[in-house]
Structure 1
Amino acid sequence: MSALASSTGRARIGARTLRTDRWWLPPLMTFLGLMAFVVYGLVRTFMNQWYWVPEHNYLAPFFSPCLSEACVPGSSHFGQPFPDLGWLIPPPIFVLPFVLGFRLTCYYYRKAYYRAFWASPPACAVGEPHSRYTGETRFPLIMQNVHRYFFYAAMLVAAVLTYDTVIAFKGTDGGVGVGLGTLLMVVNVVLLWSYTLSCHSCRHLIGGRLNHFSKHPVRYWLWTKITWLNGKHMLLAWCSLASVALVDLYVMLVAAGAITDLRLFN
């Protein structure tokens, strides 16, 4: 005990890590996955076409809500308050900053891209290459502190996508119709709501600032459900990211005439 108490400083290890497993694989896969979504998102945004299927009321998630005068007829469900600003500022630019703001400031995504893109650190028990650490106290990382406000914007966007899904149940003859695109949109909004509600900010909003859960049984019940979802936040983050891209790609292919929507009825 005396020898341990008298020791000072940390062990001097020249190697960056003593781990012998493939610790570099998870951050590499995270980097490739996020980069694939970023590249697809940029191409899709500035493609600025094939996002509305009028016969089935399919609106691609990347273009919802479509609030610009540049939007094709029928795709603007909430009006067109913004002017057509040309190809440099396509319709998604007016909404994507709020959606990306929620994802970029998400606690899980921060861990993911800090490790995958900045190697800060790349994995547990692996030294990072940076000489100093300033945390999230300077611009732009200080913006991480506004995550709770992006949460409210994400709730609004999820509500809009839910509306898009509801109107996608309209059949070609004016009745009710269901196609493969409709089902994909349903899965997408379920995953988006699950990811959004599993957010740490939502958990705090539901159960925070309470001294006695026993005096607030409804909020306590909601808090337990949000806590259960919160435990799956990482899985929901990836599943919802993939579902957004998949639905957007499907709507694009149908709108471009590359494929025909598989109709289950009507």
Structure 2
Amino acid sequence: MTQTTAESPARRQRAQLRTRTLRTDRWWLAPAITFASLTAFLVYGFWAIFDGSYFVEPYLAPFSAPCLTEACPEGARLFGWAPIGDWFPLPPGFLILGLPAGFRVTCYYYRKAYYRSFWLSPPACAVGEPHKKYTGETRFPLIIQNVHRYFFYFALVIGAILAYDAVLAFRNSEGEWGHMGLGTLILVVNAILIVTYTLSCHSCRHIVAGRLNHFSRHPLRYRMWGFVSKLNAKHAQLAMVSMWFIMFADLYVRLVAKGVITDITFF
């Protein structure tokens, strides 16, 4: 005589939905906008890497910073030197492409963004996904997402370089300080957004004081943790705003370099 196991009341009462979702709002709008935004950024970034008009005194396009090869104009080189020399066959931007890209691709917010918009996993809350199997980030290649904390340190360096380039934008074409143009302000705002987005990272919050058991013993780190936590609450907004603004800043410099537009000089 076979023995059967009775189903639990919760299992018997669970609704068996045959439709993908019961939501009646435009749940598809958010992933569609995210898909369009990220695609536009990827297309622009690919174009910018191959575009040669990335420098016009005193502005260096952010997508090409730092410029480390001898192919870079002298004024565009980081600290005036070219450690890579002339052996690198690809455009200079390829050298640093993986650092900010790796930081954003593995960012917790961007993971949610492209998981939902590109992979539909899931496309929105309370919406079924087309995938039959879910393994999370426990298998290759998504297990590599755990290197995000290490890309954070590289992102700090990139943010510092963009801030340095923004400071150099206060010089005129003769190298004298006291210049300010619209491009100067754009690069300053861009550096601020990139740095604040980087500092708002979950990894930064953990590194600053996330592992402490007693905040009272570390008052300085506790204050830093509180500051980073406030930024962390705006991490998603900073991620998108900084992405769009760096694309705008980069395009502005390239259009000035091409002579399509003229930089507005205040003094």
Q: Normalising by the residue count of structure 2, what TM-score does the alignment of the two structures yield?
A: 0.93
* Total equivalences in the alignment: 257
Corresponding residue to 1:13 among 8, 14, 17: 17
Gaps of 5+ in 2: 1-6
SS of equivalent residue, structure 2 residue 76: coil
In structure 1, what is the equivalent of residue 77 of structure 2?
76
CA distance in 2, matches of 1:122, 1:227: 28
Deviations 1:175-199 (A, max 9, x none): 3110000000111011111100000
Q: CA shift at 1:224, angstroms?
A: 0.8
CA distance in 1, matches of 2:230, 2:75: 40
Alignment of 1:10-89 (within 5 A): 10-47=14-51, 49-54=52-57, 57-78=58-79, 79-82=81-84, 83-86=86-89, 89=90
Q: Contact 2:166/2:188 (CA < 8 Å) preserved in 1?
A: yes
Q: CA shift at 1:73, angstroms?
A: 3.0
CA distance in 2, matches of 1:111, 1:239: 16
Corresponding residue to 2:178 among 160, 176, 182: 176
CA distance in 2, matches of 1:144, 1:218: 31
CA distance in 1, matches of 2:9, 2:138: 35
Deviations 1:148-191 (A, max 9, x none): 00000000000001110111101345231100000001110111
How high is the sequence identity, in percent, across the aligned residues?
A: 56
Alignment of 1:227-246 (within 5 A): 227-246=229-248
Structure 1 vs Structure 2 CA RMSD? 1.4
CA distance in 2, matches of 1:20, 1:187: 40
Q: CA shift at 1:138, angstroms?
A: 2.2
SS of equivalent residue, structure 2 residue 266: strand
Match status 1:191 vs 2:197: no
Q: Normalising by the residue count of structure 1, what TM-score does the alignment of the two structures yield?
A: 0.93
In structure 2, what is the equivalent of residue 256 of structure 1?
258
CA distance in 2, matches of 1:73, 1:115: 43
Deviations 1:99-157 (A, max 9, x none): 10000000000000000000000000001000101211222211100000000000000
Q: CA shift at 1:70, angstroms?
A: 1.9
Would you identify which runs of 4 or more consecutive aligned residues in structure 1 move more than 6 Å? none
In structure 1, what is the equivalent of residue 148 of structure 2?
147
Q: Contact 1:70/1:84 (CA < 8 Å) preserved in 2?
A: no
Alignment of 1:105-144 (within 5 A): 105-144=106-145
Q: CA shift at 1:5, angstroms?
A: 6.2
Gaps of 5+ in 1: none
CA distance in 1, matches of 2:70, 2:34: 37
